[in-house]
Copies of this chain bind each other. A is one copy, B any other.
Amino acid sequence: MPPVVTVASPAASQEVAAVALQERYGHVRAASCRLAAPLSPEDAMVQSMDDASPAKWHLAHTTWFFEHFVLEAAGQAPLRPQWNYLFNSYYDSAGPRHPRPRRGLLSRPSLQEVLEYRRQVDERVLAALDGDVLPGPARERLELGLHHEQQHQELLLTDIQHALWCHPLRPAYRADLPRPPDAAAAPLQWMAQDERIVEVGAPRWPPGPDFAYDNESPPHRVLVPAHAVASRPVTNAEYRRFVEDGGYRTPALWLSDGWARVQAEAWERPLYWEPGLDAACTLGGLRPLPPHAPVCHLSYYEADAFARWAGARLPTELEWERAATPLPVQGNFADDGLLQPRAARGEGLQQLYGDVWEWTSSAYLPWPGFKPWQDDTGEYNGKFMCGQWVLRGGSCATPRGHVRASYRNFFPPHARWQFAGLRLARDRA
């Protein structure tokens, strides 16, 4: 995704890069507003659980990120210093902050004021880019800010889906979302791999030219054992058989913590499924469940239990990355406007990118040699390396261009409200 430049002089090259950055900035920032457009000021304020944030908060926080990490770092005083407390998420370096579970109480600033705040910050950022007054580090943080904003775009969608699902009347986010065709899924194939030393991970950015989060680096060699991965994710129909076979009533299929959760929260099926197992709440409202589309809104516990029931296991993130690295980053992403997973088509390895995030069997841990970014963005990823599991590949709610083979998403094992599904794997002697 870095701008491909073929110019002669460094100065010209930098200018071209600046123009490309300006365009990308405008594109990414506009996308957030587009996603929030169907929401009323009241919708944009709902926080339906501690793990989720109001849409308005996402819009403001991503803006604060540019103001704090880019403009302030470039010497500009903040427009509304008192908002630092409201819209700092988890940066201890940026000072105290509003408790996360109380974000839904922030009636002020209004959605309108937040959109105006976005406009003002955008103006300042674009002016700074235009005037070429951003020092190198600030430009890097601006790059980071765009990726950060894309992450929040997906969260805005998953959080609002949860919020509306919590409403007793089950309103839709966008009743006009198209319904994907649900052709029969290709039969599942096992793609075998031999034991091999492979290099995984991304070159450190910066100074590397291609953006990657610090947790994707450094590149390193690993020995991936012989194994096979499934050609496509598990479908709704396949998962339904697990449910109907008593999967949610059989402790032997579950991790101990998972079984405790199943009992404590009376889980009986994926998060948004209706009791009849034939319909689910989607961003488009309550809809029939397409049998051949990848199952999603699973926790790690459910993905793991399904795999055990199926006589298989989840892939490690190394196995996943090895499989994905040669493939182009193509798939059903948020930009396609479906906002729902779609049945696999074609032959060979399918849907590694897009449709649903795939739970891996890998706990979220540092790569050998991992170093967090050495400034105050070092809190971005590293401090969460405990109690979380890695998901790979992006989903139908992920902005196109946000993921890559080395991208490591992570959530706690009980999290169900993301577009998270699974792909099976198995050992080979």
Q: What residues of chain A have their CB less than 8 Å away from a CB belonging to chain B? A: 40-43, 45-46, 48, 82, 85-86, 90, 92-93, 98, 102, 104-108, 110-111, 163, 166-169, 171, 195, 197, 220-223, 225, 227, 251-252, 254-259, 300-301, 316, 361-363, 365-366, 368-369, 378-379, 383-387, 413, 427
B255–A383 contact, CB under 8 A? yes
Set B90, B98, B301, B368: member contacting A225, Cβ < 8 A: B368
Would you give 20 A-B contacts (Cβ < 8 Å), ordered by A?
Answer: A40-B108, A42-B42, A42-B110, A45-B45, A48-B105, A86-B169, A92-B251, A92-B259, A104-B104, A105-B167, A107-B163, A107-B167, A108-B167, A195-B221, A221-B223, A225-B369, A255-B386, A301-B386, A363-B365, A387-B413
B427–A387 contact, CB under 8 A? no
Q: How many copies does the complex hold?
A: 4
Bound-state CA distance A125–B16 (Å) is 68
Q: Which 4 A-B pairs have the closest CB atoms?
A: A363-B363, A42-B107, A223-B223, A92-B251
B197–A167 contact, CB under 8 A? no
**Residue picked from A40, A82, A106, most chain B C-beta under 10 Å:** A40
A106–B167 contact, CB under 8 A? yes
A43–B107 contact, CB under 8 A? yes
Smallest Cβ-Cβ distance to A42: which chain B residue? B107
Bound-state CA distance A357–B335 (Å) is 51
Q: Given contacts A42-B108, A365-B361, is CB(A257)–CB(B163) below 8 Å?
A: no
A256–B90 contact, CB under 8 A? yes
User: How many whole Å from A196's CB to the nearest CB in chain B?
Assistant: 11
User: How many whole Å from A316's CB to the nearest CB in chain B?
Assistant: 8
Tell me which residues across on chain B come within 8 A of A386, comparing CB atoms.
255-258, 300-301, 413
Tell me which residues across on chain B come within 8 A of A110, comparing CB atoms.
40, 42
Tell me which residues across on chain B come within 8 A of A85, comparing CB atoms.
168
A166–B256 contact, CB under 8 A? no
Tell me which residues across on chain B come within 8 A of A251, comparing CB atoms.
92
A369–B427 contact, CB under 8 A? yes
Smallest Cβ-Cβ distance to A195: which chain B residue? B221
User: How many whole Å from A286's CB to the nearest CB in chain B?
Assistant: 14
**Residue picked from A105, A220, A257, most chain B C-beta under 10 Å:** A105
Smallest Cβ-Cβ distance to A319: which chain B residue? B368
Tell me which residues across on chain B come within 8 A of A258, comparing CB atoms.
386
B168–A107 contact, CB under 8 A? no
A383–B222 contact, CB under 8 A? no
Smallest Cβ-Cβ distance to A48: which chain B residue? B105
Bound-state CA distance A363–B317 (Å) is 14
A169–B82 contact, CB under 8 A? yes
Tell me which residues across on chain B come within 8 A of A169, comparing CB atoms.
82, 86, 108
Tell me which residues across on chain B come within 8 A of A168, comparing CB atoms.
85-86, 98
Smallest Cβ-Cβ distance to A111: which chain B residue? B42
Smallest Cβ-Cβ distance to A166: which chain B residue? B105
Tell me which residues across on chain B come within 8 A of A48, comparing CB atoms.
105
Bound-state CA distance A256–B92 (Å) is 10
Tell me which residues across on chain B come within 8 A of A379, comparing CB atoms.
252
Tell me which residues across on chain B come within 8 A of A93, comparing CB atoms.
252
User: How many whole Å from A256's CB to the nearest CB in chain B?
Assistant: 4
Bound-state CA distance A386–B257 (Å) is 7
